[in-house]
Structure 1
Amino acid sequence: MTTLTDLYDERVAEGHILRDPAQEEALPEFERIRRELAEAPEKPKRGLFRKAKVPEPPKGLYLWGGVGRGKSMLMDLFVESLDVPVRRVHFHAFMQEMQAELHRLRGEGVDDPVKPMAKGVSDAVKVLAFDEMQITDIADAMLVGRLFEELFKAGTVVVTTSNRVPDDLYKDGLNRQLFLPFIDLIKERLVVRELASERDHRQDRLKGAKVYFTPIDREARAEIDRVWQDLTHGNEEALVLTIKGRKLELPRYHNGVARASFYDLCGQMLGPGDYLAIADALRLLVLENLPRLGRTNFNEAKRFVTLIDALYEAKVKLIVSAVDEPESLYIEGPGAFEFERTASRLREMQAADWGHGH
């Protein structure tokens, strides 16, 4: 059987990844889970007078470390190596789904919705692979403990990445003392490992690389395709965000990185709450086909300003293709003066170290 170390060595040999001792040290934890899952019997053996005993599932993994250290790339390899039903999902998106399901079941008069919610998840998959576990919302903080307790009871294996150590989850959050048992649960059911690589592979990849392309010609499109391929390795899916009961879909998404056109994000009736949710879910946005702005597309321009403000505040890295340089995008019409601040932010966001540490 191909082990994760074999897979990793293959990718290094193909030139897809750079060998990194810190990443190699984390591989045995992933391999332990893969092997135990592969060796687990399909159905537990049943005694004559006893109920079938469910074998103890392998301990999961909580892999934390700075941005760009390769946590998600290792998770990709792990998910690829599994022969059991697995779901790879951004933690933020998963919790939004769970909140929507909680709301639906409560609406149907279900007294304790958490059990059926957990059962729905554990019936569908054996492994939950989360990108970026972080808790910022009190509703999530109050739900997550009970939900994960039920998932663990059902034998679901959880593997997650995070930018922070478990003790810093929901730090300074409202009613944090109610959340602390969840941190204990994480430490009990998951092996906690730091990925302490010296290198920031993502910054290395983008360091010195252009992030603002103008004019929008064949060369710019080819370059953006190349960057997108480099960031996603050809893996992409839709990310569905639920905002106040409405669904907002980013069709092209992978591991904290999304690609959309100006009209996808500014041509529809989205508001500040939508852009905040997008900024919260991403660490990098590839935004294509930014047109000239002015009187004729005033509403779209206003939305664009709101989008850039949300991305700027959340320190999301931005790669853009635009019809012109930032200062020349909006030169006449109402809002031209206010746009100067947006142009200046677009300039600042082009710096090589912009977005570092998000």
Structure 2
Amino acid sequence: MTHLTELYQQKINAGELKPDPAQEAVLPHFDHIAAGLKAPPVKRGIFRKATYEPVQGLYLWGGVGRGKSMLMDLFVDSLDDVPSRRVHFHAFMQEIHAKMHKARQNGVEDALAPVAADVATSVRLLAFDEMQITDITDAMIVGRLFEALFAAGVTVITTSNRVPDDLYKNGLNRQLFLPFIGLIKQQMQVHEMVSPVDYRQDRLTGAQVYFSPVNAEASANIRAIWEDLSGGPAMPLTLEVKGREITLPAFRNGVARAGFYDLCGKMLGPGDYLAIAEVVKVLVLEDIPRLSRNNFNEAKRFVTLIDALYEAGVRLICSAAAEPEMLYVEGEGTFEFERTASRLREMQDKDWGQRT
């Protein structure tokens, strides 16, 4: 196993990364965790089974685009045979809810207990990307879940844009959630990555982000941007909003990719698009058609989607049949679309998204 400090230096020497003091400052934390995970199990007593010593985890927080997810990915890849899993936090919680629902159907009274036990037996390290808690159902079970994982010796590392004290801020019944914040501080080293550099934004600064018309060249450009920003293989992400499921076909490191009809051809509303905007930092949206009375419902949803992305400061990269002002030129709704066209123009600015 190669420690992350060595891997990081190798990538600098190869020209794949640039030295960054904020990133370098967190490397010893990862190296300490790796050393603990690779230590042999300890046997305490003649008749006791050898067990691994608990290893304190890491809560890495800071602004968007500072390299948190990149470092975490490198770290997980460096662990060789240590059973580990890297997953987006929201996707993980959706899995937990689904497994609890199945346990209840099987007559299990405490549905969380077997689910947590199953997770604990499958990994020694859980690496979460983008920990954020906005849903009351997550807030009410996450404390017990993590308590069970820590008790079983699972090490947790996570990235977040929020300091632990701001998790589930102003949420319903937040006082019931506060012990979880205390648990994080006890079981995980909290480290803020402070850097003036936003690498994700820098990669887009000055770059074209709106491609028209939709053709082979536009598709190739979109694909290149996606591969650069996602940084690896993506998986679908399913969000649950008031009992409905919304699926983003591809998601990784806060970057999502979808076609126009994936998001606007289905019966989605403002709450659905707000949920997407909470999770996604960059949206790659492909194949926006010309809009008219013939696809009026899709056009209305597109307007609502852009409003949600705009208000949340989400970076938008898209391919479209025409320039913003020429997307919707006939039929009911053309006047209202002028604001959307204006926002699409503004969201192409090289500094868009930095205000968040």
TM-score normalized by structure 1? 0.93
Structure 1 residue aligned with 2:191: 193
Shift of 1:217: 2.9
Map 1:299-310 to 2 at 5 A. Answer: 299-310=297-308
Q: Which amino acid aligns with 1:221?
A: S
After superposition, what is the alpha-carbon deviation per residue over 1:186-212, rounded to whole angstroms, capped at 9, x for unaligned? 011001111112211112111121211
For 1:357 and 1:161, the matched residues in 2 are separated by 20
For 2:145 and 2:159, the matched residues in 1 are separated by 18
Structure 1 residue aligned with 2:135: 137
Q: Which amino acid aligns with 1:51?
A: R
Please tell me whether residue 55 in structure 1 is matched to residue 23 in structure 2. Answer: no
Structure 1 residue aligned with 2:29: 29
**Partner SS for 1:194:** strand
8 Å CA contact retained: 1:100, 1:242: no
Q: Which amino acid aligns with 2:178?
A: L
Structure 2: where are the runs of 5+ without partners? none
Pick from 75, 80, 83 the counterpart of residue 78 of structure 1: 75
Shift of 1:46: 7.2
**Partner SS for 2:317:** strand
Shift of 1:261: 1.4
Structure 2 residue aligned with 1:329: 327
**Partner SS for 2:175:** helix
Structure 2 residue aligned with 1:182: 180
After superposition, what is the alpha-carbon deviation per residue over 1:269-321, rounded to whole angstroms, capped at 9, x for unaligned? 33333322222221110111111111222222122122212222222110111
After superposition, what is the alpha-carbon deviation per residue over 1:149-192, rounded to whole angstroms, capped at 9, x for unaligned? 00111111100011121122222222222211111110110011
For 1:316 and 1:191, the matched residues in 2 are separated by 29
Q: 1:119 to 1:167 in 2, by over 3 A?
A: same
For 1:307 and 1:218, the matched residues in 2 are separated by 25
Q: Percent of aligned pairs with the same residue?
A: 65
Shift of 1:356: 2.4
Structure 1 residue aligned with 2:9: 9
Map 1:190-339 to 2 at 5 A. Answer: 190-339=188-337
For 1:14 and 1:223, the matched residues in 2 are separated by 25
Shift of 1:93: 2.1
Map 1:47-126 to 2 at 5 A. Answer: 47-48=45-46, 50-83=47-80, 84-126=82-124
Q: Which amino acid aligns with 2:73?
A: D
For 1:263 and 1:169, the matched residues in 2 are separated by 33
**Partner SS for 1:12:** helix
8 Å CA contact retained: 1:67, 1:357: no
Q: What is the root-mean-square deviation of aligned Cα atoms in Å?
A: 1.9
Shift of 1:47: 4.5
**Partner SS for 1:52:** coil
After superposition, what is the alpha-carbon deviation per residue over 1:60-79, rounded to whole angstroms, capped at 9, x for unaligned? 00011111111011011011
Structure 2 residue aligned with 1:342: 340
Shift of 1:332: 0.3
For 2:287 and 2:96, the matched residues in 1 are separated by 34
Q: Which amino acid aligns with 1:19?
A: P
8 Å CA contact retained: 1:132, 1:162: yes
How many pairs were matched up? 355
**Partner SS for 1:276:** helix
TM-score normalized by structure 2? 0.93
For 1:267 and 1:184, the matched residues in 2 are separated by 43
8 Å CA contact retained: 1:91, 1:134: yes
**Partner SS for 1:220:** helix
Structure 1: where are the runs of 5+ without partners? none
Q: Which has the higher mean CA deviation after the structures are superposed, 322-331 or 171-180?
A: 171-180
For 1:357 and 1:31, the matched residues in 2 are separated by 34
**Partner SS for 2:170:** coil
After superposition, what is the alpha-carbon deviation per residue over 1:115-137, rounded to whole angstroms, capped at 9, x for unaligned? 11211211222211111111222
Shift of 1:357: 5.2
Q: Which amino acid aligns with 2:20?
A: D
**Partner SS for 2:223:** helix
